[in-house]
């Protein structure tokens, strides 16, 4: 059976993506780092709509933890494989660059970019061996496309993710694995709850923040068979803000 893995599936956009995948009839593995309660709530919501799911805890920025968790899952599921991967886990640690501590630079890059590398590298061999319908979606950001002040770490991580998406897409295309990035603008979630939404939404042409479900709908399309000829792309979902 083909499974989906969503990193950072416990909250926000990742949770909405898990629900969307469940609605597509695909069993979903919900990764989280530390928020067990939120991950259980995602699991409850998936089960409530008749979906199949399981939790998988690991820190995406820790190569050994990623490998150990996926090794254990593969041992328990000898006839299954993870065909759909959504690299969604991410964090923000904003400050002007002249004041940015080393840890904020590294934590943000290690989570978004390192996480993409460790999880994807581990899953690629099986996805490519099967030669059919593998899907990798990377959660980038408008910040990685245009650069945002106060986010040199985050913009760098997300811009690098877009570059890696384009490169990997060319490595895997002949094996039927597509690799795309989604670049949201302002989306309502824990990540943006400390922002001045009333002020910021004035910058957005549609006049509002996006909803996690709207991002999940786009991810769902990119995971589907209908998107088979789309690879190496970064698709914005930002209410017209650029």
Figure out which of the listed residues 184, 220, 236, 239 binds ligand NAP, where binding follows CB under 6 A: 184
Largest separation between any pair of C-alpha atoms in the chain: 52
Sign of the dihedral through C-alpha 108, 11, 182, 149: negative
- Closest by Cα among 141, 150, 23, 59 to 96: 150
Between CA 111 and CA 118 the distance in angstroms is: 10
Site for ligand NAP contains 111 (CB under 6 A): yes
Show the binding pattern over residues 199-238: x = contacts ligand NAP (CB under 6 A), - = does not.
----------------------------------------
The piece of 12-20, 48-56, 127-135, 223-231 that touches ligand NAP (CB under 6 A) is 12-20
Give the CA radius of gyration of the chain. Answer: 17
Asked if 81 is an active-site residue, the reply is: no
Which class for 57: exposed (0-12), middle (13-18), buried (19 or more C-beta within 10 A)? Answer: middle
Figure out which of the listed residues 67, 191, 200, 235 binds ligand NAP, where binding follows CB under 6 A: 191
Alpha carbon 73 to its chain centroid, in Å, reads 20
Site for ligand NAP contains 152 (CB under 6 A): no
Count of C-beta atoms within a 10 Å radius of residue 12 = 21
Interacting positions 18-77 with ligand NAP (CB under 6 A): 31-35, 38, 59-61
**Least Cβ distance, residue 139 to ligand NAP (angstroms):** 4
Helix H or strand E encompassing 186: none
List residues binding ligand NAP (CB under 6 A): 7-8, 10-14, 31-35, 38, 59-61, 88-91, 111-112, 139, 141, 184, 186-187, 189-192
Residues marked as catalytic: 154
């Amino acid at each position: 059976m083909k499974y989906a893995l969503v990193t950072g599936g416990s909250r926000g956009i990742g949770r909405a993506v898990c629900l969307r995948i469940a609605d597509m009839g695909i069993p979903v593995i919900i990764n989280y780092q530390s928020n067990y309660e939120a991950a259980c709530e995602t699991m409850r919501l998936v089960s409530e709509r008749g979906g199949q799911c399981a939790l998988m805890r690991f820190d995406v920025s820790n190569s050994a933890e990623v490998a150990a968790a996926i090794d254990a899952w593969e041992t328990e599921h000898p006839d299954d494989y993870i065909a759909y991967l959504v690299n969604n886990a991410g964090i923000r640690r904003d400050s002007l660059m002249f004041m940015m501590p080393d840890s904020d630079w590294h934590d943000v890059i290690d989570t978004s970019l390192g996480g993409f590398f460790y999880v994807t590298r581990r899953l690629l061999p099986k996805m490519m061996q099967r030669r059919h319908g593998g899907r990798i979606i990377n959660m980038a950001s408008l910040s990685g496309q245009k650069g945002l002040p106060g986010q040199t770490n985050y913009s760098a991580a997300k811009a690098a993710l877009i570059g890696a998406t384009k490169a990997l897409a060319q490595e895997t295309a002949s094996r039927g694995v597509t690799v795309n990035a989604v670049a949201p603008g302002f989306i309502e979630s824990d990540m943006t709850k400390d922002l001045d939404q009333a002020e910021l939404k004035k910058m957005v042409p549609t006049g509002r923040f996006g909803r996690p479900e709207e991002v999940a709908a786009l991810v769902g399309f990119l995971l589907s068979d209908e998107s088979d000829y789309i690879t190496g792309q970064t698709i914005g979902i930002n209410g017209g803000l650029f």
